[in-house]
């Protein structure tokens, strides 16, 4: 039976990361409030999750809210937090039914109490699910993540539990928020912007990057399948010939 993505199983990325961009532009082009773009974008989250599950991709990480996003107008930030809370309230049953394990990375303590508690509850409920690991990056910044890792490593050296001469790439990786999850093979960015935007800077060192002009609310299952197909056509040399 052929894979619905059109990609042979041995050519599929194991981990896809997505920078979900273009919600505000999508709303502006239609004369709608920005939050309507974010609301419609939540449907694209479902589409991408379904695409990964149908194709057999076991890890999906979505850049949902950056550390820098707190600088946006207070009413937009408040609406986004309500949207996160509503998304979890409406989708937790579906997450459980579809055997999805939910994770979150970032400074989760920055989130409003109600949204954070609901997030923690869904994470706990889904901890033993196995079909797909869906990670939401919330109040996340890659530079902050690396600083946090460096601080923890420094504490261990100071405490005498870590020899600085033994520090290597694996040491740093094991202190990142993503410890225990394989690095992304494929990074997708919507809306045509050619930026990484402080997302998984360490982890995407060797990821293939696919940029699509589609705005995030218009991004459908077929678009992620197309990105997987582009990934499968590439020759990943990791610095070799």
Catalytic residue among 3, 10, 21, 183: 21
158 burial via Cβ count (<10 Å: 0-12, 13-18, 19+): exposed
CB 57 within 8 A of CB 234: no
For the record, the structure tokens of 41 come out as: 């974008």
Element (DSSP H or E) covering residue 153: helix 142-159
What are the phi and psi torsion angles at 167 (to 5°)? -70, 125
d(CA 173, CA 60): 18
Give the active site residue among 3, 69, 129, 198.
Answer: 69
User: Phi and psi for 15 in degrees, rounded to 5?
Assistant: -140, 125
- CA 182 from centroid of its chain's CA atoms: 13
Structure tokens at 134: 């869906």
Which of 3, 112, 106 shows the shortest CA–CA distance to 53? 3
**Residue 129 annotated to the active site:** no
Chain position carrying tokens 């705005």: 215
Q: How many CB atoms lie under 10 A from the CB of residue 119? A: 22
H or E segment and range at residue 68: none
21 is catalytic: yes
Query: Known catalytic residues?
Result: 21, 69
């Amino acid at each position: 039976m052929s894979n619905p993505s059109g990609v042979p199983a041995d050519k599929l990325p194991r981990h896809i990361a997505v920078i979900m961009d273009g919600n505000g532009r999508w709303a502006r082009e239609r004369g709608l409030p920005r939050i309507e773009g974010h609301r419609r974008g939540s449907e694209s989250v479902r589409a991408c999750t379904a695409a990964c599950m149908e194709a057999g991709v076991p890890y999906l990480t979505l850049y949902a809210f950056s550390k820098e996003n707190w600088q946006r107008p207070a009413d937009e930030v408040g609406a986004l937090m309500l949207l996160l809370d509503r998304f979890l309230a409406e989708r937790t049953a579906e997450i459980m039914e579809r055997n999805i394990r939910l994770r979150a990375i970032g400074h989760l303590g920055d989130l409003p109490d109600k949204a954070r508690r609901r997030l923690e509850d869904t994470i706990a409920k889904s901890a033993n699910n196995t079909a797909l690991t869906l990670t939401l990056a919330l109040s996340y910044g890659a530079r902050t993540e690396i600083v946090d890792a460096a601080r923890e490593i420094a504490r261990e050296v100071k405490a005498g539990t870590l020899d600085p001469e033994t520090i290597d790439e694996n040491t740093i990786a094991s202190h990142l928020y993503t410890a225990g999850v394989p690095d992304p093979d494929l990074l997708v960015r919507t809306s045509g912007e050619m930026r990484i935007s402080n997302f998984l800077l360490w982890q995407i060192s060797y990821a293939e990057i696919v940029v699509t002009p589609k705005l995030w609310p218009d991004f459908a299952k077929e678009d992620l399948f197309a990105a997987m197909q582009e990934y499968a056509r590439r020759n990943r040399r990791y610095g070799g010939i």
